[in-house]
Structures are given as C-alpha cells and as structure tokens.
Chains A and B, each alone.
Chain A
Amino acid sequence: MGITLAYLGLLVMIPLAGVFVLTAQMTWEDFWRVVTSRQVVATYKVTFGVSLAAACTNAFFGLIVAWVLVRYQFPGRKLLDGMVDLPFALPTAVAGIALTALYAQTGWLGQYFYAIGIETAYSKVGIFIALTFIGIPFVVRTVQPVIEDLNAEVEEAAASLGASRTRTLCRIVLPALIPAMLTGFALAFARAIGEYGSVIFISGNMPMRTEITPLIIVKFLEQYQYAEATAVAAVMLVFSFVLLLVINLLQRWTESIGQARS
C-alpha cells in the first residue's frame, strides 16, 4: 500500500503536476500567445481532425470485425483474432516505417493510390493511415465481449415476431453495442491524439500542414524552449484528462447496460 502510493506519487503525480506548476509560472498572456500561435493551432487542427477521422473509421470497421470474429466460422478466424492485438505489441517506430514504405509513392500499395491521385504518404492521408493502424484493437476488443454476451433468445424472439434480419440487427443488436462502440471509439481517439512514433515517419512533418501536436512539443524541446513545450503539453494534458473522464463514464454506462440485461 505504502509502496504503491509512493511509487505512483514519485513517478506519475509529481511529474505531471510539474507541468501545471511550470505553466502557472508563465504569465497568462505568454501562455495564451504560445498555445494560440498560428503554427500550434495548425497542429491542433491536424491532430484532432485526423484522429477523429481515424477513430470513426475504427469504430465502423471495428464493429464489423468484432461481429465477424464472434459470429462467423471461417478458416483463419483464430489467426485473425490473434492478429488484432498486433498494434499493441508492435513498436510504433516499426509500424511507422513499415506503413511509410508501403504507402509511399514507390511502395506496393502507394503506387496505386498515387496513380489515382491520392497522396498516401507525407500527407494527412498518411497520418490517417498510421492513426487507424494503432487504433484497430480498441473498438474490436471493447465490442467483442458484448457481442459474445448477447442473448440469442432476444434475436430469436424478434425473428419469430416477424422482424426481418436487417430490422433485428438495427433495432435490437446495434443499440446494445453502441455504448461499447463509443468506449472503443473514445479510447482509439485518445490514443491517436497522443501518438507520435508511427506518425512522424509517414507525415513528412511539414509545418502548418502535416505537423501533429506531440511533434511540435518535441520541436520546442529541441530548441530548448521549455516554457513553450510545457504550455502546449498542458493543453494536451487537460484534454486527455477530460477524455479519460468521458471514457470512465462510458464504461459505467456499458456496465450498467450489461447488468440490466443479465
């Protein structure tokens, strides 16, 4: 108990508090000037916009993947199921260079996209690809257990009352999955916003266009602009905390629905 608190305090609480203490030492004008400067605001737009797109993609495909993995039998199902966790286990730098090599203009997949005019590397599309990759497991792994626990009798009842399969899916199955899907979405979104390793390879890091917020913190640090780095970090931290709170609430919602069912 003592060990736990001391360790958490030393390693997590004090350092994180440090960010806010240092930020508080800046004047409000300085702080505001830094976090609303044009280049920094451009990074928010890229980071939040692309993260949102990637998280939405993951919510949609994650739902389908989870459904297919739980409900259908096909060869290689177990293998695919195991592979879903790969983005957790694979170092982000490795993911970054693999995706870049693949989706660059000369890459296996990139050449086709470039041929139809989509620049898949060194662009927002590239960032989107990287952020989608790292977010894959979140939605699948939050929705999967809920599908497993679904009560088949309810679906049978709907069918026996004359509902078509599509209608049953939309009116019975989907509403039950939405809290879990939102949780997974929020998790993927949170992860995407903070992601650094995989993005910097594929993004090209052009200021104002493909620069993400974590990267600008690193750039400030490399120029020994500690105050600026800290100010931007504080903005990101506040956002992360809010997101964590939302995730916890979603989580409780999911659990309460699960309990109501059983």
Chain B
Amino acid sequence: MPSIISRFRTDKVPKTQSAISEPRWMRYTLMGLAAGFLLFFLLIPLFSVFFEAFRRGIPAFIATFEDENALAAIRLTLTVALICVPVTTVFGLAAAWAITKFSFRGKSLLTTVIDLPFAVSPVIAGLIFVLIFSGTHGWLGPWFESQGIRVIFALPGIVLATMFITLPFVARELIPLMQSQGRDEEYAALTLGASGWRTFLRVTLPNVKWGLFYGLILCNARAMGEFGAVAVVSGNIKGMTSTMPLYIETLYFEYATVPAFALSSILTLLALLTLVLKNIIEWKAGG
C-alpha cells in the first residue's frame, strides 16, 4: 500500500509555458470540474456540520455539553486516545526501526502485515475481538470473565479495536523516512562509542521527529474518530461505553440533531486542526 498519507512534498509549480499549457477554455473547464467536485463532496458537507450545530443558536449548542452522557462520551474518547496513541507510537518506532535498520528474511511480508488494518473493514476489526473475548462465545472471553475482567462491551475491547485500526499509522510514516536516511549516521555514532540506546535517542529520534509527530496526530485523529470497529465491540451503553462517534449516532437516530451536530463540530474542529498541523509539518520538513 502506498504511503498516500505520508508525502512531504515541495510545492513547486512550473512556470506556465505556452507550449506545455492547455488552451484557456480547457484550463477553465478542468478547474471548474475540480472545484465543483470538491465543493459538492467536501466543502459544503464540512460547512453544513457547523451550520447544523448552531441552527438553534448558541445556547442550544452549549446545552449539549451539559448532558452527562455527552461528557462521559468525551471522557471515554480521550481515555481511549490517551492509551492507544502512546502504544501505537512505541510499536511504530520499534517496527520502523526493525524494518529499516536490520536486514532479515520476510521483511516485505512484515510490511504487508502492518498494512493489513488499512485493508480490513473496521467492522471485521471489531468482529475478530468479539470472537476472541466475548464472554459467552469467545475463546478467551469466559476465562477473562472468571477473572472479573470484561473485555467486550467495556473499555479494554474499545482500546484493543482502536489499537488494531491505528496500528499502521506511525509505522507507515516512519518507514519511508528512515529508509531514505539510511544507517550511516547510526554507524558513525556507534563507532564513536555511543551505546545503542543513546544512538537511538540522540541520532535516530531527532532525525525522524517530524515524521513521528505527523504519524502521531494522524493516529490521534483516527483513534478519536473510529466508529465501525468500536461500534461492534463496545455495546454502545450510554454514559458507559459510548465514545463520541457512537454517541453522535445515538443522538442522531433519536432525532436530537442539534446535539449530534454540536458533538460532531468538536470532532470536525479536531480534524481541521490535524490538517493544519499536517500542513505546518510538511512546510517545516520541506523547508
């Protein structure tokens, strides 16, 4: 799978030369088509989130956040992200390190396995954890249940499903970056007598810091927004195992449109913030 989400590109626009430029009518048609497509499928939907959220004025918007269940959903979403993002980051560093700095057999297979969560439907991601940990039907579920640990329809299940979904994000960012940097600097540090750990902290980590940060914010956005996988494992118990996206669904199907869009607008702001940070990072890393 290509790293479609990981390109630090330079924004170079070739000077318009008449020989390799389209006639004016064609330019405007293409620009019109592109703008129209993005307008109808991207910009208007984005704008409508905020419009719907404030449809009944600011007091109705604020009232959403006085609802106990909504607050519980926000807390749960933050908790899940706080657990998943560090774990995924450590894994991503370890995986990228192993893949780029060592040679071993089955490397491309390993890379493919890291990509799997991208290709698997989120619903199936949820299903596999239900099959293992369900209290009544799962393989390990009954044992965990007897130890007093609930996995499915509880926080551990939500965390597991989110970890599965976000697994490729950090690793996918770091692998191409570390590959392009090669191993020379690490070798130099090692021959100068630095320990392996010190080399990692002082040489490898600073070299990839932007890529790492970029993977981190993408991972965070996904962790907070995941719906399909979490819907399957959480049981969606209001105020208990309902994350923000799940609570948005509940509200929406209860015809509580304004609160649904108010919560959505928070997640949308988060998405926009992610995009802004991403562009800042690309600019920093490129320049």
Within 8 Å of chain B (Cβ to Cβ): is A78?
yes
Within 8 Å of chain B (Cβ to Cβ): is A123?
no
Whether A226 and B121, one on each chain, are in contact in the complex, defined by CB atoms closer than 8 angstroms, is: no
- How distant is A147 from chain B, measured CB to nearest CB, in Å? 10
- How distant is A131 from chain B, measured CB to nearest CB, in Å? 11
Whether B225 and A241, one on each chain, are in contact in the complex, defined by CB atoms closer than 8 angstroms, is: no
**CA distance in complex: A76, B273 (Å):** 18
Query: What is the number of contacts between chain A and chain B, taking CB atoms within 8 Å?
Result: 287
Chain A minimum-CB-distance residue to B261: A97
- How distant is A198 from chain B, measured CB to nearest CB, in Å? 8
Whether A218 and B1, one on each chain, are in contact in the complex, defined by CB atoms closer than 8 angstroms, is: no
Within 8 Å of chain A (Cβ to Cβ): is B218?
yes
What 1/0 mask marks residues of chain B from 209 to 241 whose CB sits below 8 Å from any chain A CB?
000000000100100111110011000000000
Whether B95 and A156, one on each chain, are in contact in the complex, defined by CB atoms closer than 8 angstroms, is: no
Whether B264 and A221, one on each chain, are in contact in the complex, defined by CB atoms closer than 8 angstroms, is: no
Within 8 Å of chain B (Cβ to Cβ): is A92?
yes
**CA distance in complex: A122, B27 (Å):** 36
**Chain B residues within 8 Å of chain A by Cβ, number:** 101
Given contacts A156-B19, A165-B26, A187-B1, contact A11 B48 (CB under 8 A): no
**CA distance in complex: A148, B8 (Å):** 13
- How distant is B89 from chain A, measured CB to nearest CB, in Å? 12
Within 8 A of A (CB), among B6-40: 7, 9, 11-14, 16-17, 19-23, 26-27, 30-31, 33-35, 37-38, 40
Within 8 A of A (CB), among B113-132: 113-117, 119-124, 127-132
Choose from B1, B20, B37, B245 the contact partner of A247 (Cβ within 8 Å).
B1
**CA distance in complex: A187, B259 (Å):** 34
Choose from B123, B225, B272 the contact partner of A93 (Cβ within 8 Å).
B225
* Residues of chain B contacted by A237 (CB below 8 angstroms): 120, 124
Whether A196 and B26, one on each chain, are in contact in the complex, defined by CB atoms closer than 8 angstroms, is: no
Choose from A19, A71, A197, A244 the contact partner of B1 (Cβ within 8 Å).
A244
Choose from A8, A160, A240 the contact partner of B121 (Cβ within 8 Å).
A240
* Residues of chain B contacted by A132 (CB below 8 angstroms): 41
List 6 A-B pairs, Cβ < 8 Å. Answer: A14-B132, A94-B248, A97-B248, A144-B7, A155-B20, A168-B20
* A-B pairs with lowest CB-CB distance, top 9: A91-B225, A194-B121, A197-B227, A15-B128, A196-B228, A89-B271, A214-B123, A93-B245, A155-B20
